[in-house]
Amino acid sequence: MSTFVPASRVSRIKVSPSTAAAARARELKAAGRDIADLTVGEPDFDTPTSVKAAAHAAIDRGETKYTAVNGTPALRKAIIGDFEKRLGMTYAENEICVGGGAKQILFLALMASVENGAEVIIPAPYWVSYPDMVIANDGTPVIVPCNEDTGFKLTAESLEAAITPKTLWVILNAPSNPTGASYSEDELKALGEVLLRHPHVMVLSDDIYDQVWFRDEPMKTLVAVVPALKDRVLLTNGVSKSYAMTGWRIGYGAGPAPLIAAINKLQSQMSSCPSSISQAAAADALSGDQTFVSESVAIYKQRRDFACKRLNAIPGLSCIVPDGAFYLYPSCAGVIGKKTPEGKIIENDLDFVLYLLDGVGVAALQGAAYGLSPYFRISFATSMEVIEDACDRIERAVNALI
């Protein structure tokens, strides 16, 4: 028997709940269960044809070797051009890093900066990986609950109250996973005023869903609204969500050159560089025709509107309409305390999602995994057929509660 014992950094973090839930749904399907899977935050569309063609062309040109740690010149140019076109922000090449997904960029940024219990402010509901990324890098997550009455958003007052001399980062994710919430220009200015008073605090701005955007006015990001913070913000993004390229694993960041240099140094020892073929595809996605983005967002919006209307019509559930991303975060407060047909009391949101899975075959995620209960998260990055079926099942399950 092996005597291997994992390092403490492994033992103190947990497996991603969303990954575990998706794996459980796949297992049940493989076992013959009829599952309406609403767990996966992955576009159900295929990668655009032009992007795939760019990858094939790169292979044909022999672009199958190592690249620079911070990405190919073509990809860096495309990233810089995209930030300038969409956000009006100008970055130099030494302010750009490229990695195997935005998730890797976020992890490397924390690895490059966090130690000795440094504090990272994380608004809740949060993407499930944020706290564990901080813990894995010897930091202390400071969770700030952001309730439904604030639109699930961090306020200037709550940010001010959470900052201490040990605060190193605050993480802003908008549009958010799991709520789809985003910030207005005035809200970002208010947060910026607080941050300007605390020059030791940096900002991890996770904008991976910024193009999956449903409002008429443009999406706002902190660094564009408060340019004075530019040397303290790492703007992270990627091609996974907007261009249906999750498996291509390309993410990138833009920020202060010293931080970018540290991230690139770590990457040089970790993976040398991202896939050269994926980089060619990502460069085409960012610099090419953007029709795919607008057309897919229009479809997501139809799905959002349908699912919100259906869920809000179910007694005991309620759902805020999200500004962007492809998730809903409905409240299940109205069913807490009720009893299933089998006699089990629904005591919390985990009980509720397990009831949905076991009772009617709907796979969702409990709000506790995202730091705020009693809610549950569903993804509408799936077909309307699946969404309609899932809503029917959820309605049937709720109506069966006593």
* pLDDT tens-digit series, residues 195-243: 999 999 999 999 999 999 999 999 999 999 999 999 999 999 999 999 9
Q: Is the pLDDT of residue 18 over 90?
A: no
Stretch 249-275: mean pLDDT, rounded?
Answer: 97
> What is the chain's mean pLDDT, rounded?
96
Contact 213, 297 (CB under 8 A): yes
Residues 296 and 282 in one domain: no
AA letter at 397: A
* Together in a domain, 341 and 393: yes
| Cα–Cα distance for residue pair 287/75, rounded to 1 Å | 9
277 and 304 belong to one structural domain: no
Task: State pLDDT tens for residues 281-294.
Answer: 999 999 999 999 99
Separation between Cα atoms, residue 40 and residue 351, nearest integer Å:
20
Using the 3D structure, point to which of 235, 265, 287 is the last residue of a domain.
Answer: 287
| 395, 310 contact by CB (below 8 A) | yes
3-state secondary structure of 123: strand
Q: Which domain holds residue 238?
A: 65-287
Task: Tell me the mean pLDDT in the region 84-89.
Answer: 96
Angle formed at CA 395 by CA 393 and CA 400, multiple of 5 degrees: 95
Q: Which residues contact 152 (CB under 8 A, 6 or more apart)?
A: 125, 146, 176, 179, 181, 320, 329, 372
How many domains would you assign to the chain?
A: 2
> Same domain for 314 and 331?
yes
Q: Is residue 30 part of a domain?
A: yes
pLDDT level of residue 111 (50, 70, 90 thresholds): very high
Count CA within 13 A, CB hemisphere, residue 140.
12
**CATH label of the domain that carries residue 169:** 3.40.640.10
Q: Is residue 57 part of a domain?
A: no
Same-domain status, 181 and 252: yes
Task: Write out pLDDT tens, residues 330-384.
Answer: 999 999 999 999 999 999 999 999 999 999 999 999 999 999 999 999 999 999 9
Residue 371 lies in a domain: yes
Residue 215 and residue 171 share a domain: yes
Residue 93 has pLDDT above 80, yes or no: yes
In eight-state DSSP terms, residue 331 is: B
Q: Are residues 332 and 270 in the same domain?
A: no
Last residue of a domain, one of 287, 303, 326: 287
143 within domain boundaries = yes
**Average pLDDT, stretch 50-54?**
98
Residue 56 within any structural domain of the chain: no
CATH number of the CATH domain containing 30:
3.90.1150.10
Q: Does residue 236 share a domain with residue 89?
A: yes
Mark whether 270 and 337 lie in a shared domain. Answer: no
Same domain, 307 and 223: no
Instruction: Report if residue 59 sits inside a domain.
Output: no
Q: Could you tell me which residue, 13 or 293, shows the higher pLDDT?
A: 293
Is residue 22 located within the same domain as residue 169? Answer: no
Is there a domain that residue 52 lies in? no
**Does a structural domain hold residue 332?**
yes
Q: How far is CA 106 from CA 130, 133, 313, in A?
A: 9, 8, 38
Domain stops at, among 220, 253, 287: 287
* Same-domain check for residues 275 and 323: no
Q: Is 29 exposed, middle or buried (0-12, 13-18, 19+ CB in 10 A)?
A: middle
